[in-house]
Copies of this chain bind each other. A is one copy, B any other.
């Protein structure tokens, strides 16, 4: 079988670029850096991820809304930390037609400052709470670092949930629900992850605290694919989001947000793919099962009939399948669909038809076996589950092998991946560790546990374990 020019294990980043291109997910030749064209296969994959997200949001009573893309500068500037955090990354509209605008507008980098002035109109009384909304939109950030498809782009496909609550405790319950949602979603993408509470100096601009959701890529770097923020009343105050309590007093709401982006695609491409191309988690694969008739000179009509019949049955069972009846060799078809990462291949030839069997081949392992036609749907369903489980297990092994606790900086220097080191709570010490490891402070484990060691920099008592890693 043909393989990628670059091997995944040798140069992960180059391999990543190569398969994104070969698998036809996006076109990077658009003339604005970091703004790529989504091609049909990539867009379908993204839409399937969005569908899972929408499903989770529906189950948890979030309402989908859509807020305008453009935000007046005066709206944007109401929360000081927020503008400080985002000010250098936004795109400004100054003219409409030939007219200069009276006030500049910016493209949403995230939607707090578009939504919250309106939330202050929607929320009057405790009976309006909790308000649980979300939207799936594109956001815009002027990235100056090197761009990379799905991982670092300037037009970002983005999911953002925004909620308002009566008090801090109810907002905390929302954070808990968000963590559960993330867990269910990432399971479906076969992606193990870690939650880390970001250090104070690296939390979301304006947040009370930030929990980042990170995936370990095979390069040993972490990729932040989402985050959950507790805002307390930090935004509610400047945006005047308050309500009348049951007792008739007025008080500010507490808020949370939960965001994820197209980086989910970057993660699943990077974690699951191999030297033959993509490997799609079954839950989001645009095609879950490709059916390939093994026919020569197009004679065997009954083979095609069996293929089409299977396709029909799978469709009725809500399994996304496709019969590839192109006039090219089966080998060429295998190559194409392996590149596209279709989780399961079905081969049906004249002999299989005689024996009332079909052949199934797992994309991730290459395992091949014959099964009875009459049990096809059930076996295929199970096989897709098996594939998903294997993908998750392998990725979990990668994560577990590359996340380690050490007590000294010297030990840390010898390890790859995510390192947990005792930390005293001082920013200076963390920055020093960052410099030594040439990595970043990822954050504390959220289920801390105690840490009875001392900070390897200042020798003070450690307050917690702190994670460090090289990040995308």
A66 within 8 A of B: yes
A40 within 8 A of B: yes
- Shortest CB–CB separation between residue A43 and chain B, in angstroms? 5
Interface residues of A in 140-190 (CB under 8 A from B): 140, 142, 155
Tell me whether B138 and A69 are in contact (CB under 8 A).
yes
- Option from B44, B75, B117, B118 in Cβ contact (under 8 Å) with A64: B44
Tell me whether A43 and B64 are in contact (CB under 8 A).
yes
A195 within 8 A of B: no
- Shortest CB–CB separation between residue A415 and chain B, in angstroms? 36
Tell me whether A68 and B118 are in contact (CB under 8 A).
no
Tell me whether B96 and A91 are in contact (CB under 8 A).
yes
Chain A interface residue count: which class?
35 or more
A36 within 8 A of B: yes
Chain B positions within 8 Å of A30 at CB level = 67-68, 114, 118
Residues of A within 8 A of B (CB): 27, 29-32, 35-40, 43-44, 47, 63-70, 72, 75, 87-99, 105, 107, 114, 117-118, 121-122, 133, 138, 140, 142, 155
- Shortest CB–CB separation between residue A102 and chain B, in angstroms? 11
Cα separation A320 to B360 with both chains bound (whole Å): 38
Nearest CB to that of A66 among chain B residues? B38
Known pairs A29-B118, A32-B68; A97 contacts B87 (CB<8 A): yes
- Shortest CB–CB separation between residue A446 and chain B, in angstroms? 31
Chain B positions within 8 Å of A64 at CB level = 40, 43-44, 47
Nearest CB to that of A97 among chain B residues? B88
- Shortest CB–CB separation between residue A367 and chain B, in angstroms? 32
